[in-house]
A and B are shown apart, each in its own frame.
Chain A
């Protein structure tokens, strides 16, 4: 069985292009969450999110060269993050014979602007939608309508980097990023491919997803807390998540392939579990047992006991239910030792970028291992009862870390855990 190493990472988030830059900002305790006037204008009580602003888009596009009409926002972010990871891995123009793309992205729907364009083509005298007029008029270029297709970004990466052996778009909700990385790791480990670009791209900071997640009560409403204070995983005052967007990619490679070309691994991916819950459609098991089962399987896959884990990169969404369940779950796995394991929740600064969250947290976990530096969880002040007794990291600090457990738990009961170790 092949060992799997990480030889390159890349990331794009709000106002930040580059994984190192992102790591540095988070280490400095910066929050990327801020109010967006566009959402205020739409009538949202909580206009705060981690959105890719126009300056970041300019920086992203500057790195891509000529933009193809079929590249939508997700594809542009994915190309930018993946290109950084590819170059970081030192692959450059080198061809890879047995390479694959494993991309995570959830379904995107019309945004409010597209809906308004659609509504303009309603013939209300005949009370029907003039679809042919909509087609002909377009409103934007014809390709724009298809920018949301999940396969676009995966295919763009496959073509750009010549990765033909395997390509697919994972869509397992908030666990999809970790699922894509886990699937890539399994394919390399089984000897099916040598190199994989694995990661995610998500652009959900627009009206329809925000409305959709608001009405199920998952998003913070902005009533008691505003801006960067809202996202506070494991804190007593947490009240929901903040939407985020961005992209993150890792180059995964068989250790033998990396060694042959003299690449220097940042970390190893040694364990993965991606499991279904047979529970409820809207929530996990209240006692954390399903999250715990997934963590246990990932540790088993890595051949590690819980004692070997030095750090947990938590899913930590800042929703009351998720954080309580995750706290109960880590206590089940690690017992009394949980008080000594530093825990970081990157969503305190990055918001929840759904499919991308598992990917960007894997990138940050790899850099944590490489730099031996723990990142902080912002806004954590007082633990609620289930979350008490955890060592939540509140400011960056150096530490000796040999292994990280990175958790991703999806809405609807798809859970994924990754184990990363020092190279």
Chain B
């Protein structure tokens, strides 16, 4: 084995609306989840969202005042990474062993106003009598400078758990999650670090999110797109043993939003399989998120034709979770490999069937045409 095929992918952990335990989540995939109430007016668009419960950070000794300066995304990321690190090295002395572990994260953004909508609302409640600039100066949260920065979620994880290896923070869409996976695996393969924590988190649920969805989408379908909250993490470690899960191949590209005849997705899948040394017939499971543009949908369905009965659309159960769809997908593959099972859809019916194929394929689309593909299978086969 050489290069990336020597890097073991393991310890997937997640925090999502379906729970934060793989037993619950895996078992729950068979039944549709009931979304909660989205935090925005229902006359605008979908009023539902897959809302994750507030993560519990007290076990990690995070100061309550610090927690108040963090976005929920950062809190979910911290909890996801924390569970992974607990599982990796439970008990005392673990921080020293984590030194020089890398962190590679896909981090989304939402154009939320600072200060928040509530401040704008109260400004109006006073009939706009207050000076506008003075209001903004007064009401801008003191730590908004930190929450403005995408890397803050990484910084919280590093400072809390003592990670001080290489870092990369990619923004902001679904392909960012696979970029974190690909580059994290390369960092381990090229001995920049012995272990890399790889993760991604979903987009913040904000009343302005539907604006973005409506803009990126190509029509009414996007009005039905349910946002979701999730963070999903895994560990990449050097020296994979035979049969460990590894990244076998990948490809990244960009599909014009206007070209519905482009074969970008097919091409990238072909490149990925070639890199991994597998044929299409070797793929036993294909997981993807939902493309945004009609052109991308066309392209994906053409590409998936060869894999028709093997496809699992991640958003059907988890909602639109942005970059987290990629690491969530990797987590599902790793969990499926452990159980030797895969979830497949037959229309609206979901079935957990035996998984005996050597590899699984992940296809991630982003709103502006970015596509990333990854092939995961066992080492040394």
* Chain A residues within CB distance 8 Å of chain B: 42-43, 105-110, 112, 115-116, 118-119, 122, 124, 127-129, 131-132, 134-135, 142, 145-146, 148-152, 155, 158-159, 164-173, 176, 179, 183, 186, 190, 207-209, 211-213, 215-216, 218, 273-282, 290, 293, 410-414
Q: Which residues of B contact A278 (CB under 8 A)?
A: 95, 99, 158-159, 161-164
In the complex, A282→B145 CA distance in Å?
10
Q: Which residues of A contact B276 (CB under 8 A)?
A: none
Q: Report if A173-B158 is in contact (Cβ < 8 Å); known contacts: A135-B214, A164-B254.
A: no
- Shortest 3 CB-CB contacts between residues of A and residues of B: A412-B155, A171-B150, A124-B124
Whole-angstrom distance from the CB of B311 to the nearest CB of chain A?
25
Query: A155 near B145 (CB under 8 angstroms)?
Result: no
Tell me if B127 is interfacial: C-beta within 8 Å of chain A.
yes
In the complex, A165→B267 CA distance in Å?
12
Tell me if B169 is interfacial: C-beta within 8 Å of chain A.
yes
* Chain B residues within CB distance 8 Å of chain A: 40-41, 43-44, 66, 95, 99, 102-103, 107, 109, 111-114, 117, 120-121, 123-125, 127-128, 132-134, 136-137, 140, 142-146, 148-152, 154-156, 158-159, 161-173, 175-176, 179, 183, 186, 190, 207-208, 210-212, 214-215, 252-254, 256, 366, 368-370
Query: B140 near A216 (CB under 8 angstroms)?
Result: no
Q: Which residues of A contact B137 (CB under 8 A)?
A: 43, 211
In the complex, A183→B187 CA distance in Å?
10
In the complex, A54→B167 CA distance in Å?
37
**Closest A-chain residue to B253, C-beta based?**
A164
Query: B164 near A131 (CB under 8 angstroms)?
Result: no
Q: Report if A118-B120 is in contact (Cβ < 8 Å); known contacts: A128-B41, A169-B171.
A: yes
Which residue in B41, B120, B208, B253 is a CB contact (below 8 Å) of A119?
A: B120
Which residue in A109, A135, A158, A215 is a CB contact (below 8 Å) of B211?
A: A135
Query: B144 near A212 (CB under 8 angstroms)?
Result: yes
Query: A172 near B114 (CB under 8 angstroms)?
Result: no
Query: B146 near A216 (CB under 8 angstroms)?
Result: yes
Whole-angstrom distance from the CB of A308 to the nearest CB of chain B?
21
Q: Report if A281-B146 is in contact (Cβ < 8 Å); known contacts: A131-B41, A145-B111.
A: yes
Q: Report if A155-B369 is in contact (Cβ < 8 Å); known contacts: A112-B133, A169-B170, A278-B162.
A: yes
In the complex, A128→B43 CA distance in Å?
12
Query: B107 near A171 (CB under 8 angstroms)?
Result: yes
Q: Report if A276-B165 is in contact (Cβ < 8 Å); known contacts: A110-B113, A155-B369, A211-B140.
A: yes
Query: B254 near A211 (CB under 8 angstroms)?
Result: no
Interface centre among A108, A112, A122 (most CB of B within 10 A): A122
Query: B166 near A275 (CB under 8 angstroms)?
Result: yes
In the complex, A9→B66 CA distance in Å?
41
Whole-angstrom distance from the CB of B99 to the nearest CB of chain A?
7
In the complex, A215→B145 CA distance in Å?
8
In the complex, A116→B159 CA distance in Å?
37
Query: A112 near B124 (CB under 8 angstroms)?
Result: no
Query: A110 near B215 (CB under 8 angstroms)?
Result: no
Q: Which residues of A contact B173 (CB under 8 A)?
A: 151
In the complex, A185→B162 CA distance in Å?
27
Q: Which residues of A contact B109 (CB under 8 A)?
A: 107, 149-150
Q: Which residues of A contact B253 (CB under 8 A)?
A: 164-165
Q: Which residues of A contact B112 (CB under 8 A)?
A: 109
Interface centre among A122, A128, A212, A274 (most CB of B within 10 A): A212
Query: B146 near A282 (CB under 8 angstroms)?
Result: yes
Query: B124 near A159 (CB under 8 angstroms)?
Result: no
Which residue in A43, A135, A280 is a CB contact (below 8 Å) of B159?
A: A280
Q: Which residues of A contact B159 (CB under 8 A)?
A: 277-281, 413
Q: Which residues of A contact B164 (CB under 8 A)?
A: 275-278, 290, 293
Query: B148 near A209 (CB under 8 angstroms)?
Result: yes
Q: Report if A168-B179 is in contact (Cβ < 8 Å); known contacts: A124-B127, A215-B142.
A: yes
12 A-B pairs with CB atoms under 8 Å apart are A106-B149, A109-B148, A112-B136, A122-B120, A122-B123, A149-B172, A169-B170, A171-B171, A218-B145, A276-B103, A277-B155, A278-B158
Query: B169 near A212 (CB under 8 angstroms)?
Result: no
Q: Which residues of B contact A208 (CB under 8 A)?
A: 114, 136, 140, 144
In the complex, A178→B142 CA distance in Å?
28
In the complex, A401→B144 CA distance in Å?
41
**Closest A-chain residue to B161, C-beta based?**
A278
Query: B121 near A148 (CB under 8 angstroms)?
Result: no
Whole-angstrom distance from the CB of B164 to the nearest CB of chain A?
4
Query: B154 near A148 (CB under 8 angstroms)?
Result: no
Q: Which residues of B contact A167 (CB under 8 A)?
A: 252, 254, 370
In the complex, A3→B43 CA distance in Å?
58
Whole-angstrom distance from the CB of B58 to the nearest CB of chain A?
18
Q: Which residues of B contact A124 (CB under 8 A)?
A: 121, 124-125, 127
Q: Which residues of A contact B161 (CB under 8 A)?
A: 278
In the complex, A131→B120 CA distance in Å?
13
Q: Which residues of B contact A105 (CB under 8 A)?
A: 171
Query: A110 near B99 (CB under 8 angstroms)?
Result: no
Q: Which residues of A contact B175 (CB under 8 A)?
A: 168
Q: Report if A212-B152 is in contact (Cβ < 8 Å); known contacts: A277-B164, A278-B158, A278-B162.
A: no
Query: B212 near A146 (CB under 8 angstroms)?
Result: yes
In the complex, A170→B180 CA distance in Å?
11
Query: B140 near A212 (CB under 8 angstroms)?
Result: yes
